[in-house]
């Protein structure tokens, strides 16, 4: 059985190390994007909560107002992106 090319061994190490470095980086990017979306949703909910309280809403009316406004905002953003 012939021995592998001398250039093949360092190439294999480079591929291995890059794989171990890139995979966690990609996972971190996916997690970061997910957290940004949840932060945006929380900020929107808080702002709409403040608006609802200023308008005198409370209880289930306030919850419905917040849910409706967040849904409409998400729809507007989605339609603008298309």
pTM higher than 0.75: no
* Residue 56 covered by a domain: yes
* Residue 43 covered by a domain: yes
pLDDT in tens, 16-62: 888 888 888 889 998 888 888 778 888 889 999 999 999 999 899 99
* Residue 38 covered by a domain: yes
51: left (phi over 0), alpha (psi -120 to 50) or beta: alpha
* Residue 55 covered by a domain: yes
Q: What is the count of structural domains for the chain?
A: 1
* Residue 71 covered by a domain: yes
**Helices (DSSP H) in the chain: which residue ranges?**
8-54, 59-81
DSSP 58: -
Check if the beta carbon of residue 68 is closer than 8 Å to that of residue 45.
Answer: no
* Residue 52 covered by a domain: yes
Start-to-end CA distance of the chain, whole Å, equals 58
* Residue 58 covered by a domain: yes
Domain span holding position 53: 33-77
* Residue 41 covered by a domain: yes
């Amino acid at each position: 059985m012939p021995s592998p090319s001398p250039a093949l061994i360092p190439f294999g190490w480079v591929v291995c190390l890059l794989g171990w470095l890139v995979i966690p980086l990609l996972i971190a990017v996916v997690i970061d994007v997910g957290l940004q979306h949840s932060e945006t949703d929380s900020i929107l909910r808080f702002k709409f909560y403040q608006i609802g309280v200023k308008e005198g809403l409370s209880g289930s009316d306030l919850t419905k107002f917040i849910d409706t406004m967040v849904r409409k905002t998400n729809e507007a953003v989605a339609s603008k992106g298309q």
